């Protein structure tokens, strides 16, 4: 039985805990209390901290996006490895991916070295060498949104259908863009969180989580049907 969806739901539960905590802090007159011996010290959560916590939501949601897609591809590779498949056994899409990995373009490579590498590649096919693919080679690093997911779906051959109310996952782009602005220092957390509302963040969460769930279910079907096989 695939662990892809259960692992995803575990990550989702962590996000829901964060949202619950954030909602509590944003309640009117909300206070934090700290033990001081037999007494308690009370303090309000300042506006600046609330801005930071709201902006941090984009980091948490983007982590869910990228980790989910990487984990989904990793499960495909695990299935190929578990089945002990060679080049001739895998589907056309995975053949292309494997060849690109084994014979990556290199303008600085000498002609004779190209020939040598090509011969090694041919030998591995003829001897039915087991296919080895690594999800760490997946070209995703801060660039995953709904468009990128659709590109990867075409590249790997899996399909998914998200309901119309999810609007094609259009809000994943905002999560990606805001995350990158924070990660690369283009925005401070205060700037990012200044105009955010809890309700707006919930709207984003309510699109991102179901959209990714549909993508992963598509990958799960791809694996269960052994669509990775030729």
Is the pLDDT at 18 greater than 90? The verdict is yes
Confidence (pLDDT) at 103: 75
Confidence (pLDDT) at 153: 97
Would 230 be classed as within a structural domain?
no
> CA separation (Å) from 212 to 75, 161, 163, 183, 206?
15, 11, 12, 22, 11
Would 42 be classed as within a structural domain?
yes
Using DSSP, state whether 117 is helix, strand or coil. Answer: helix
Residues 220, 1: Cα–Cα separation, whole Å = 10
Domain count, the chain: 1
Give the side-chain half-sphere CA count within 13 A for 208.
32
Q: What tens digit of pLDDT does each residue of 92-131 get? A: 999 999 988 887 656 666 666 767 777 777 878 778 888 8
Confidence (pLDDT) at 207: 98
Confidence (pLDDT) at 126: 78
Is the pLDDT at 156 greater than 80? The verdict is yes
Confidence (pLDDT) at 127: 82
Is the pLDDT at 159 greater than 70? The verdict is yes
Stretch 140-163: mean pLDDT, rounded? 95
Confidence (pLDDT) at 109: 63
Would 229 be classed as within a structural domain?
no
Is the pLDDT at 64 greater than 80? The verdict is yes
E strand or H helix that includes residue 21: helix 4-26
Tell which residue, 68, 223, 58, has the closest CA to residue 140: 68
Stretch 186-215: mean pLDDT, rounded? 97
pTM of structure: 0.90
Would 165 be classed as within a structural domain?
yes
Q: What tens digit of pLDDT does each residue of 125-150 get? A: 778 888 888 888 888 989 999 999 99
Would 163 be classed as within a structural domain?
yes
Stretch 58-65: mean pLDDT, rounded? 98
Would 183 be classed as within a structural domain?
yes
First to last CA, the chain: 22
Residue 170: pLDDT band (50, 70, 90) is very high
185 φψ region: left (φ > 0), alpha (ψ -120 to 50), beta (else)? left
E strand or H helix that includes residue 229: none
Q: What tens digit of pLDDT does each residue of 36-55 get? A: 777 778 777 889 999 999 99
Would 178 be classed as within a structural domain?
yes
What average pLDDT does the structure give for the chain?
91
Q: How is residue 148 written in tokens?
A: 């990128």
Q: Which range of residues forms the domain containing residue 41? A: 4-224
């Amino acid at each position: 039985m695939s662990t892809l969806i259960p692992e995803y739901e575990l990550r989702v539960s962590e996000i829901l805990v964060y949202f619950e905590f954030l909602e509590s802090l944003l309640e009117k007159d909300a206070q934090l209390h700290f033990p001081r011996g037999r007494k308690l010290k009370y303090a309000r959560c300042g506006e600046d901290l609330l801005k930071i916590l709201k902006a941090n939501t984009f980091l948490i949601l983007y982590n869910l996006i990228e980790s989910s897609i990487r984990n989904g591809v990793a499960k495909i590779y695990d299935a190929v490895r578990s089945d002990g498949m060679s080049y001739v056994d895998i589907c056309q899409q995975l053949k292309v991916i494997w060849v690109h990995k084994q014979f990556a373009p290199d303008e600085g490579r000498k002609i004779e070295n190209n020939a040598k590498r090509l011969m090694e590649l041919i030998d591995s096919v003829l001897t039915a060498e087991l296919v080895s693919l690594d999800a760490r080679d997946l070209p995703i690093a801060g660039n995953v949104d709904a468009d990128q997911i659709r590109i990867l779906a075409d590249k790997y051959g899996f399909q998914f259908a998200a309901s119309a109310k999810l609007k094609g996952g259009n809000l994943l782009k905002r999560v990606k863009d805001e995350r990158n602005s924070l990660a690369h220092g283009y925005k401070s957390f205060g700037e990012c969180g200044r105009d955010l509302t809890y309700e707006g963040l919930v709207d984003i969460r309510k699109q991102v989580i179901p959209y990714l769930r549909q993508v992963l279910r598509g990958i799960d079907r791809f694996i269960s049907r052994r669509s990775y096989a030729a």
